[in-house]
Structure 1
Amino acid sequence: MNQQMSRAILNSDWYNGSVKAAWSRYLRNEEILQSELRSEIAHSWETSKDLGVNPFQSQINEIINDQTLAIRLKHNKQLLSYASPRIQQLLDLFDDSKTVLSIADKDGTILKSVGEKNVLKRAEKRYIFAGGTWTEKSAGTNAVGMVLRTKQSSQVLFSEHFCENVHDWYCVAFPVLAPFTKELLGIVNLAGNASDVHRHSIGYALAEAKNMALSLERHFFEYALRHHLFLHTALEKMDHIVLSVDLSDQILTRNEGANRSERFQNETSIASFPELKALVANVRTNGQQIVNEQIQDGSTNKRYQVSIYPVRFQDHIYGVVIFLQQDQRVVNKKKPSPRKATTRYSFSNMVGVSPTFQALLKQAEKAASLQSTILISGETGTGKEVLAQAIHQASNRGGKPFVAINCGAVPPSLLESELSGYEAGAFTGSKAKGSAGKFEQANGGTIFLDEIGDMPLDLQVHLLRILEERVVTRIGGSVPIPVDVRVISATNKDLKEAVQKGTFREDLYYRLCVLQMELPPLRERSEDIPVLIQSFLPALCQEFGKQMISLTRETLTILERYHWPGNIRELKNVLQQAMFVMDGDVIHPHHLPDSFYSQTQSDEYEKQKLLRALEQQEGNVTKAAASLNMSRATIYRRLKKYRLERH
């Protein structure tokens, strides 16, 4: 225990008074001298303020329910099994020192607390109990929350806490870090009350709490080492390239096969191998292994057979192990076929665990092995082009062009020339050398006719002729040009109804609808929303310059219950908007658009709207009232109504 901490804990009245004065001036936006406050505490106060924490709140903002706590306890079974024997040995010490020792998980939620019974009762009144979540967002400046942000030991003494209701408590927290990856596995926290400081045993209690965290790390390291040594020996004897990759796509270890590979021997990340990176992201998102998938390296045109396995510990995924074997049949070709066009999406980008979606994927994989024309139907934003690209990529045309045209976006006067092309001088404004149409451009590959239901009737005749004869004649030309193209079309309309109304040709409908697939709307596959969100977050975090983003359970519930008229596209847009307006690293309900709250949720809507206004105005009630076009008195009434009082 350092000298400052010892003096602070043993002379709490002196220390508390000194820091309390600085805390009061901080809330009045007055200047604080560097000598009055530790820099790490000043930084945490700023963080708490930016996160919208109320310094006068009577309780922490996040307490998980019993069902969620049971899941967390199960996930952290190994952490608790390592800690429990040592805790039992130290119960007398916690009694003597009048302290409470808590084990928290990697999210800052307390899993278990032990200590002297009277102190434990007082701690429970401050929500220092199993289920209480002590992030800086939930509780302001506190030792557990600071460890979550820094992964370093932290201490917060009395009035250094941002929230006044714990100004008579001190807390010291120590991280438990995973071997090799240094991901946070858990936190050991020791807390005490100013009125219960025991002069002689407090130092021992703090030392034992620190030793417990180090002991837990040692247990995890020994566990990893025992398994790693045997595994390392086995992997070195394999002909495969073997890579272990962490959550940020960095290569942690490689076997001798990887060191001999020109492609991987100098790589520190898999970022330069987009198709592999996409598969890894999919495994991390849904937790399902991939076995014997065929992929192609765009930088070398070499093909690999890949298997990817998630690395789990305490039911959390910390990375993956990748097994790669080069396809020698492709490598030995003197001139690998150049790829005229690539698709952005493959089946690895088709994310979902719902039975409906999984059944659709099986159909799509089967369709990829065939050559038949496909009609994909589904509402706007369900991912029709993503599915079309995935089918193309998995087919034997995967190395050939994929050409898309939106039949509803191209003016009718230009659509014929877009499909068939034109010769030089065919019409005013045409290119001097003429231009190939979409069917010519897609020769050997796939043409995707999006929004086919919006194609004018006269042009439907033109398209039907191309499909029947498999030739195109450029506008202004007379020479038929044979085309070998697979046709995939898509629509958000009921084409059968359009046929009955006479707005879509029946013969063209049956020509396009050889194989039919329907993408379900997002509201019918709500169980896929969490995995879709996880698939979007890595790219969005990079876009907004954030390290890691999470959602509260309440936020996720709202998203799962929403009707999603814009489907997957709308979901991604909502996440982008939430990350734009938020300041911290947790998406709360008040970061969501107003449209998420129906009339039956009027109180919740009003509460979240109020929280959003306060957050945007950095807690300034007057400015928040002005932005909501209401009086300060009304704001204070609603703060009281929703138990968000600001004293």
Structure 2
Amino acid sequence: MAQDKHLKETAVAWQQFIGTGHLHQPSVPQVVLASWQNCRERGVDPWENRKIQAGFVPGQEVAALRITRSRRRPAETLKAIGEFADENRVVLSVYDNQGNFIEPLNHQFPSSMADQLGVSSLFLGQLTEDMSGTNAVTLAMREAATVRLAGYEHYHSWFHAFSCSAAPLRDGRGHIAGAVGASSLDVHQPVMVLPFLRCVADLYQHWRWLEYDRNKTRYWQGVQLMTSSPDPPKMPNPLNQLVGYSHEMKVVKEKLAAVAQSELPVMLTGESGVGKEVAAQVIHQLSARRKGPLIAINCGALSETLAETTLFGYGRGAFTGARSVGKPGLIEASHGGTLFLDELESLSPTVQVMLLRCLAEKKILPVGGTEERPVDFRLVSASKITGEQALAEGVWRADFYYRIGGYDIAIPPLRHRREDIPLLMEVLLKQLAETMGRAIPRLTEEAISCLCHYPWPGNVRQLKNLMEQLLITCQNDEITISDLPEIIRYHSAWLNRGAEAGSVTTAGNQGAIQWTPAGDGKKLLNHLERQMARQVLKESDGNISEAARRLGISRPTLYRIIKDTREEV
């Protein structure tokens, strides 16, 4: 049969396109090929099923929508539509012009088939190319025409067993307002489904979509479908994710805001746990690439071989066990967005050379591949050591550093911005309490002061872990100093505070807790840093490397602190 021949040719074309990114002799419709190219450019993984299955609307919500909508429609007409869809074993649904699921039109077949496939339902909450790859609903609205896709014409492998049709819906002014879709778990969809679908679309247009009312809410025959406004709601400032009002954090926020709009590569440096990944998210959300993907990779978790295939992907048959069609890498997945490489000091010289060429040429060559692919991404990287230190210790090649080091931003450790600790604790306790379903306890002034004296070698990450621990172990609505771990309340910085102890005050209308070091704050912080270094060095029997490891700092930094300590004495 001609249809079977077309399906086989499409399967070959799909495998060729997934493997190489192009077709030697296009054997699929141009509209399908254009959609495949869009999916590839946006980094849609044709093999990842979890994202698809996580997007299904739960069955009970589908049932509730069906009951609510049916109250406003002719019951006999809806029943006839549903019965026809069930008899022809299709999943019939309506989507708005953004690809958002609006309502189901049948129930029996979708429920039984979902049970057989082991999924929550067969109604996707959103049908877009970013979410599910090439699909009939998106193409019907894009082409303003009825569309049918079968088998491998779908970009995502999960849909290769399906055939899907869709007819566009128009509002009173002729604009595309959505689409009606019909999906069959069979590559040979019954021929009568397509004309039936056109009739359903005409019927819906007869019922008519209504435009925005005075409250700027879209309705269908008086039943609210979704709340939306021509004026998008004001989004929160991404910079607010970096909690703190200290001078150090104000400087960091100013630098992030200044560099975000540019295309300069950014290098974030700082100790483990200071919030470098949050800073990377802020840069992405403030940039012109915020609608694109943010791909974060921890280079410290990758061996050299794994780093190559993870970053650059691999071609067909690149190694034993490789997929027959190859697999795109995460650099390609970041196309149009931001690539965040954390713990960059762990990257091997070989991978540095590969990445250097990629940054210079804006192209990648998959491992074992023969053809380069264009990529467009903005690089944000992070390291526990500075660029100068990485060069001095031979961690990075000089040409690699000068390529990635467009703009350096140092994220200060928590001990250098102690006045931010009370606000951080307040925010973290609130977030964790909401997640755990607990009441938010109050920290006593003595507990706050003790926590502000502690040097926090694990920085914000360590503070968050402690707040979670206190929420679990706290037996009442108040956290006192006796609730704190011994390592904190018996730390020398607290026990030897003497006259240098800071003060806890309540400020502002919201009653925010603030901690202010006595006297010159900068001088006090330096003194505490030197005092802690002396104590740890003593406990390490004078071993510089061991003391630096315990403090979470580099050996040069510890040498500087020791030098300052001797000058102070």
Q: TM-score when scaled to structure 1?
A: 0.41
Q: TM-score when scaled to structure 2?
A: 0.46
Which is greater in Rg? 1
